[in-house]
Structure 1
Amino acid sequence: MGLLSLAIWIPIFFGVVLLALGRDEQAGAVRWIALIGSVISLLVTLPLYRGFQLGTSAMQFVENTSWIERFNVNYHLGVDGISVWFVILTAFINVIVVIASWESITSRVNQYMGAFLILSGLMIGVFCALDGILFYVFFEATLIPMYLIIGIWGGPNKIYAAFKFFLYTLLGSLLMLVALIFLYAKSGGSFDIATWHQLPLDSHTQTLLFFAFLAAFAVKVPMWPVHTWLPDVHVEAPTGGSAVLAAIMLKLGAYGFLRFSLPIAPDAAHEWSWLMIALSLTAVVYVGLVAMVQEDMKKLVAYSSVAHMGFVTLGFFIFNDLGISGGIVQMIAHGFVSAAMFLSIGVLYDRVHSREIASYGGVINTMPKFAAFALLFAMANCGLPGTAGFVGEWMVILGAVKFNFWIGFASATALIFGAAYTLWMFKRVYLGPVANDDVKELKDINAREFLMLLLLAIAVLAMGLYPKPFTDVMDASVADLIKHVAVSKLN
């Protein structure tokens, strides 16, 4: 087994072991096994960065074995500069979620931890798959553990939220399956994604394929107007579920645009870029305004995620290196920042059992250490220079200005809205005098929570202050993608 197979199957193996352990009397052992499994999974992914060869767009750490010979389906894995950081990010967030859920989950602990470890392996599989059917299997399989996480450990309306999540994302993906089967037939019986990139497709075919992929990936991102499932799901999901959903699962859709929509249907991507830009700007501006009036902290951060992911899709469809690189950097940064925001809300919810902003006020007086972390993450969510949240957004805005000044100007307004709703929430929750007895009795974060938030704070600051390791890795792959799209357009 190569590194990528280990990265996929180690967390899945540990997840299956946890499911076999059974009763809650073994919860202590379950938590430690989950932590050990997630840490090993993370350690396995680190050599991917250390051994990654810069300056080439070729797939690296490739594994290719026949899987279903009759239909020419292969177990084909590999990563390039676009995907390698997402493998590491997924494994890192999984460790954080296990630590975050240590005390808050008290029933069916083995199933909860097992679901997250299996989900982590499946999401890594999406980022590594180079075979169309393998990609689809991993892409759809991620729905199952997340559906169970929401439906079993969620809030009062968890069944409604779980069904809404499952139906929205599954229905969108059915059109993608039709597109994959069409490409299989068109390529003479190959599910190899790289082969599909070279297919000479006419304009009409490309348009149909583009919208088939759009149906799957737009819901997953989620783009406006198919974003309505996300706030409901975030509100009902347990804290760990919200963190993984925002940090990783939303990225699966955005990643799909880069691996399928742009390289397979480049002419259609150019032709319909105006639509993608319009939808992205609507998400950035309109959803930012919607976030301002939210009274539920989770719902506010959920709408914030839609606005931030609008930057990602905007960057992809302005077809320049700053835009696409900025979109990818924004995806990684949003992974750190959104996870931190949701886990911070989880820290408060574990103590007060309310997500309403009105239930708090003056938290800084009773939880000064925690408030310091929350301030850093709030600043990163605003896009403050020096934090991870700034780098990708700034690159996308620069790329957008290069593409069209007014599009760049419109996207820059999102920074104002982002600062408005994030700081407004921070002010009402953390600043001022102690608002009520619940806040008065709050105890500051313990060592476990401190470690969890510290790891995220280091990631947010490291990426904000020194983004070079991230941008260097993706440069060659992004340049090759832009060249491929541009050449296809000319032809």
Structure 2
Amino acid sequence: MPWLTVIGAVPLVGTAVIAALPKERPELAKRTALATTLVVLALTCVVAARFNVNGPRFQFTEDVKWIPAFGIHYALGVDGIAVVLLLLTAVLWPIVILASWQECEESRRSVKTYLGLFVSMETVLIGVFAATDLFLFYALFEVMLIPMYFIISSRGTARSSYAAMKFLLYSLAGGLLMLAAVIALYVLGPHSFRYADLTGLHLPTTDERWLFLGFFAAFAVKAPLWPLHTWLPDAVTEGPVGGSVLLVGVLDKVGTFGFLRYCLGLFPQASHWFAPVVIVLAVIAVLYGALQAIGQRDLLRLMAYVSVSHFGLISLGIFAFTSQGQSGATLYMVNHGFSTGALLLIVGFLIARHRTRGIHDFGGIQQVAPILAGTFLLACLSGLALPGLNTFVSEFLVLVGTFTRYKVAGGLATVGIILASIYMLVMYQRTMTGPVSPRARESRDLSLRERFVIAPLVAVIVALGFYPGPILDIIKPAVAATLQQTHDTDPQPVVQPAAIAIRGGSS
């Protein structure tokens, strides 16, 4: 059974069904969208359960000649990294659909158009993570911009249109650089776009570095990595909250996924040559994002800068070239999607109730809405990587993996984690504690639908905090294959001669 094709086709069928529904039946469109994404979740869980961690790197492979004259194939397959990102996608999509139950009616577009954009975008993301043909990957990489552009601009305001256009132009500029690199790689290589044919090439040093930059620029915009991040705060602030969850939780992971799969896998020598520069950019992103988050007064803008800081940590782990760093970075991609998704959704509930994004407009929410405040506290603690919650293991692995090669960068990144405690706890204190503000007096606690939205995220945050082993077991073989492509091994611990002498004397 072509599992990956089926999983990707289900949202397309769901989109077609939604498009055929009459505009007068918005509730039916909502139920259809939710049912479609739940089917995708069920099928993805089957794929994840059947993935053999001791098997070949790419599994569930499909390979059909698409445009033979140019060596283009419809080729799909997933390794451990792609599997966990598919799981992240499949889990977040129905949660966001359910969270947007009322938000979709406030869009300037019809309910079925709004939901059709969300559902169709799931197909594109599945294809991006599953593609093993470079041309197919690039095509889907660009196509995913279209539904997200319309989602960001769905409010119909001048600011949302500006944010959507900025997102599109940044992404297109990066994509064009990658297109030039894809064409050059085809010409310089074996005249094939299949990933298996492109790995292990011996390219001239200068050519490989230029090709690396073409891919890196596109992925750095998407990630987003400082200083190419400036589109993200506008997109998160001006777009609908559901769209922001998918943008930060899933779409931006395409950038860091591209670092691992394509930058390191196709250009190992250039990756090492540029690694110190990327490490510097990642550390700046960690600190800059954290400092900007501390100074924000807008809840959504604060969430955007939190993500800039977290993506800096993910990039740091990837370019540390250690198994701990890259395993932690991949796990962080998953955990960031759940923790930041929970934060954004709860912020969205607050904004829907009070029609304001200002942090200082709230206060005392925990006295009138204790369940909302409790879930928000858990999400904040996950955002600052409290031990026992999901992000702690991710950050710990990234920092351990970084320290073994780049001690200064690891130390500076640790400062960013300290700053995270400040912006998360201050945000919670100002919005949830203290005297009840005038806006909060009429606040209500989470409804039954909202509890169904948040409950799965809370469960995942706690479960992965105590037992991340199954996800790490899936990730590790793919990370080992990536390190093999870049000819890296973990640094061996240095034993001081004095320590050896002491042990020898005591024995």
Check whether TM > 0.5: yes
Partner Cα distance (2:453, 2:377) in 1:
15
Q: Which residue does the alignment assign to 1:466? A: 467
Q: Which residue does the alignment assign to 1:127? A: 129
Q: Which residue does the alignment assign to 2:99? A: 100
Residues 154 and 237, structure 1, Cα contact 8 Å, conserved in 2? no
SS in 2 for 1:74: strand
Letter in 1 for 2:203: L
Task: Check if 1:475 corresponds to 2:472.
Answer: no
RMSD (Å) for aligned C-alpha atoms: 1.3
Q: Deviations along 1:323-353, whole A, 9 cap, x unmatched?
A: 1111101101001011111101110111111
SS in 1 for 2:76: strand
Q: Deviations along 1:455-477, whole A, 9 cap, x unmatched?
A: 11011111111100111011111
Q: Which residue does the alignment assign to 2:168? A: 166
Q: Which residue does the alignment assign to 1:296? A: 298
SS in 2 for 1:75: strand
Partner Cα distance (1:391, 1:487) in 2:
23
SS in 2 for 1:78: strand
Question: How many equivalent pairs are there?
Answer: 486
Structure 1 residue 418, shift from structure 2 partner: 0.7
Q: Which residue does the alignment assign to 2:504? A: none
Identical positions, percent: 38
SS in 2 for 1:445: coil
Q: Which residue does the alignment assign to 1:179? A: 181
Task: Check if 1:452 corresponds to 2:456.
Answer: no
Gapped regions of structure 1 (runs ≥ 5): none
Residues 280 and 409, structure 2, Cα contact 8 Å, conserved in 1? no
Residues 266 and 485, structure 1, Cα contact 8 Å, conserved in 2? yes
Partner Cα distance (1:189, 1:36) in 2:
42
Q: Deviations along 1:402-426, whole A, 9 cap, x unmatched?
A: 1132221111111111111111111
Letter in 2 for 1:80: D
SS in 2 for 1:272: helix
Letter in 2 for 1:367: A
Letter in 2 for 1:44: L
Partner Cα distance (1:15, 1:377) in 2:
32
Task: Check if 1:345 corresponds to 2:347.
Answer: yes
Task: Check if 1:84 corresponds to 2:86.
Answer: no
Task: Check if 1:32 corresponds to 2:31.
Answer: yes
Q: Which residue does the alignment assign to 2:380? A: 378
Structure 1 residue 235, shift from structure 2 partner: 0.3
Q: Which residue does the alignment assign to 1:368? A: 370
Structure 1 residue 104, shift from structure 2 partner: 2.2
Partner Cα distance (1:463, 1:115) in 2:
30
Residues 383 and 389, structure 1, Cα contact 8 Å, conserved in 2? yes
Partner Cα distance (2:156, 2:10) in 1:
27
The correspondence of residues 32-71 of structure 1 with structure 2, limited to 5 A, is 32-71=31-70
Partner Cα distance (2:116, 2:388) in 1:
36
Structure 1 residue 22, shift from structure 2 partner: 4.4
Partner Cα distance (1:481, 1:338) in 2:
27
State the 4+ residue runs in structure 1 displaced beyond 6 angstroms: none
Partner Cα distance (1:392, 1:205) in 2:
35
Residues 362 and 434, structure 1, Cα contact 8 Å, conserved in 2? yes
Residues 78 and 129, structure 1, Cα contact 8 Å, conserved in 2? yes
Q: Which residue does the alignment assign to 1:139? A: 141
Residues 15 and 114, structure 1, Cα contact 8 Å, conserved in 2? yes
Q: Which residue does the alignment assign to 2:276? A: 274
Q: Deviations along 1:20-69, whole A, 9 cap, x unmatched?
A: 3241x210101111111010011010111110111345200001111122
Partner Cα distance (2:363, 2:158) in 1:
25
Letter in 2 for 1:414: G
- Shift of the 155–288 alpha-carbon distance from structure 1 to 2, 3 Å rule, reads farther
Structure 1 residue 359, shift from structure 2 partner: 1.1
The correspondence of residues 238-277 of structure 1 with structure 2, limited to 5 A, is 238-277=240-279
Q: Deviations along 1:126-184, whole A, 9 cap, x unmatched?
A: 00000011101111111000001111236551110000000001110101111111111
Partner Cα distance (1:143, 1:104) in 2:
21
Q: Which residue does the alignment assign to 1:19? A: 19
Residues 133 and 194, structure 2, Cα contact 8 Å, conserved in 1? yes
Q: Deviations along 1:196-252, whole A, 9 cap, x unmatched?
A: 112111211111011101110000000000100000110001010000001001100
Residues 265 and 486, structure 2, Cα contact 8 Å, conserved in 1? yes
Letter in 1 for 2:60: F
